[in-house]
């Protein structure tokens, strides 16, 4: 398959977290690279000795149903076929998975993380932070391929996650339209911000993600690949202190939680800090115990089934 055929093939899989077609996608495109599943559901692979860069994407999508879908290519963009009933294209994050697969084939050094369940709360990356932070001790930068558009090297995901100097040093090795941008939104690399100095996200050419009219600029994606397989990591400028306290805006004091030492930045922070209030809020919104239990446990059961497919020794030997 050529580049375009591979990208189109990837985009034909609908990949809700824990679904059978997400697993089929992983079997076709990620396992053959040599990646192994970790105990958190992420797929990972190390190239080189003690790599200092973590490359990040995620295997799930916001598709509402698993299965396959037809896509069209108009010479510039891939989008859903005209009469498709699918709710999104899923270039978020198939585009990132494709770039990483190409970098692996080109033997670019790094810790490659294909994260589990980014779209339902960065589940896989959070698990690494909470249960296996030592995995990241040699990592100086975490680069996600999970950003819309064609020009952003993200410095802020709500809060600062990468220095301007780092973003510029990466942009300097990409097509000249790339510039540092402080307008990022949450992805897995944000979870690593207290452990890894520079945490960013790069534009991989999709637009209108999470929607039926999502489209992928294939030329951009291939151009980024062409640069990434030649990337010189020794030129990355590492400046940010991951342990520095975030600067608070004037209203910032209010964003401290009841413990006064914990800055609430994500939905997860709020759920963790105020479980009773969150439960009351969900109840008021009409969410029932049964509904929530089904959502939470169905995903766990599916994940357990995925585990059954592999030799447990393989799983827990530390894929890295
Ligand atoms: Zn994404």
For each of the domains in the chain, give its residue range(s) and CATH number, in order of start.
3-235 (3.40.630.10), 250-316 (no CATH)
Ligand 1 centroid to 187 CA: how many Å? 6
156 is written with which tokens?
């802020």
Ligand 1 centroid to 57 CA: how many Å? 7
Taking only the tens place, the pLDDT of each residue in 270-279 is 887 888 888 8
What average pLDDT score do residues 168-184 get? 97
Helix (H, G, I), strand (E, B) or coil at 112: strand
pTM of the model: 0.79
Residue 62 scores a pLDDT above 70: yes
* Alpha carbon of residue 274 to chain centroid: 26
CA dihedral (203, 264, 142, 114) positive or negative: negative
Ligand 1 centroid to 253 CA: how many Å? 30
What is d(CA 306, CA 35) in angstroms, rounded to the nearest whole number? 15
Ligand 1 centroid to 38 CA: how many Å? 20
Ligand 1 centroid to 256 CA: how many Å? 28
Helix (H) or strand (E) holding 292: helix 289-308
302 pLDDT band, cuts 50/70/90, is low
> How long is the chain?
320
131 is written with which tokens?
């249960």
Residue 13 scores a pLDDT above 70: yes
> Residue 25's pLDDT is what?
98
268 pLDDT band, cuts 50/70/90, is confident
Ligand 1 centroid to 134 CA: how many Å? 25
Ligand 1 centroid to 205 CA: how many Å? 12
Ligand 1 centroid to 260 CA: how many Å? 31
Residue 261 scores a pLDDT above 70: no
252 pLDDT band, cuts 50/70/90, is very low
Taking only the tens place, the pLDDT of each residue in 98-135 is 999 999 999 999 999 999 999 999 999 999 999 999 99
> Residue 253's pLDDT is what?
42
> Which residues, 6+ apart, have CB-to-CB distance to 202 below 8 Å?
143, 144, 145, 147, 152, 153, 154, 170, 174, 178, 224
What average pLDDT score do residues 161-177 get? 98
Helix (H) or strand (E) holding 180: strand 179-181
Residue 172 φ then ψ, to 5°:
-60, -20
What is d(CA 148, CA 143) in angstroms, rounded to the nearest whole number? 14
> Residue 9's pLDDT is what?
98
What average pLDDT score do residues 176-193 get? 96
> Residue 290's pLDDT is what?
83
What average pLDDT score do residues 67-75 get? 97
Ligand 1 centroid to 231 CA: how many Å? 22
CB 100: neighbour CB atoms within 10 A?
29
């Amino acid at each position: 398959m050529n580049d375009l055929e591979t990208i189109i093939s990837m985009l034909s899989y609908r990949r809700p977290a824990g679904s059978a077609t997400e697993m089929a996608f992983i079997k076709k495109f990620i396992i053959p690279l040599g990646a192994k599943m970790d105990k958190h559901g992420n797929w990972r692979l190390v190239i080189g000795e003690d790599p200092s860069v973590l490359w990040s994407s995620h295997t799930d999508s916001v598709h509402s149903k698993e299965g396959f879908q037809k896509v069209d290519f108009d010479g510039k963009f891939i989008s859903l076929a005209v009469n498709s009933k699918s709710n999104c294209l899923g270039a978020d994050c198939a585009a990132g998975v494709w770039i990483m697969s190409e970098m692996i084939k080109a033997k670019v050094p790094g810790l490659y993380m294909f994260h589990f369940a980014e779209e339902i709360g960065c589940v896989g990356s959070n698990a690494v932070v909470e249960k296996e932070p030592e995995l990241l001790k040699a990592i100086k930068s975490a680069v996600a391929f999970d950003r819309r558009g064609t020009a952003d090297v993200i410095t802020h995901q709500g809060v600062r996650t990468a220095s301007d100097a780092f973003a510029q040093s990466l942009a300097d090795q990409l097509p000249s339209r790339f510039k540092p941008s402080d307008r990022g939104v949450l992805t897995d690399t944000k979870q690593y911000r207290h452990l890894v100095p520079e945490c960013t996200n790069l534009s991989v050419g999709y637009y209108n993600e999470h929607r039926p009219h999502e489209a992928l600029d294939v030329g951009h994606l291939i151009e980024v690949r062409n640069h990434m397989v030649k990337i010189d990591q020794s030129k990355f400028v590492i400046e940010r202190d991951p342990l520095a306290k975030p600067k608070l805006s004037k209203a910032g004091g209010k964003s401290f939680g009841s413990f006064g030492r914990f800055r609430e930045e994500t939905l997860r922070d709020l759920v963790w800090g105020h479980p009773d209030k969150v439960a009351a809020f969900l109840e008021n919104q009409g969410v029932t115990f049964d509904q929530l239990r089904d959502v939470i446990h169905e995903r766990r059961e599916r994940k357990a089934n995925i585990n059954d497919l592999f030799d447990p020794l393989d799983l827990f030997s530390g894929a890295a």
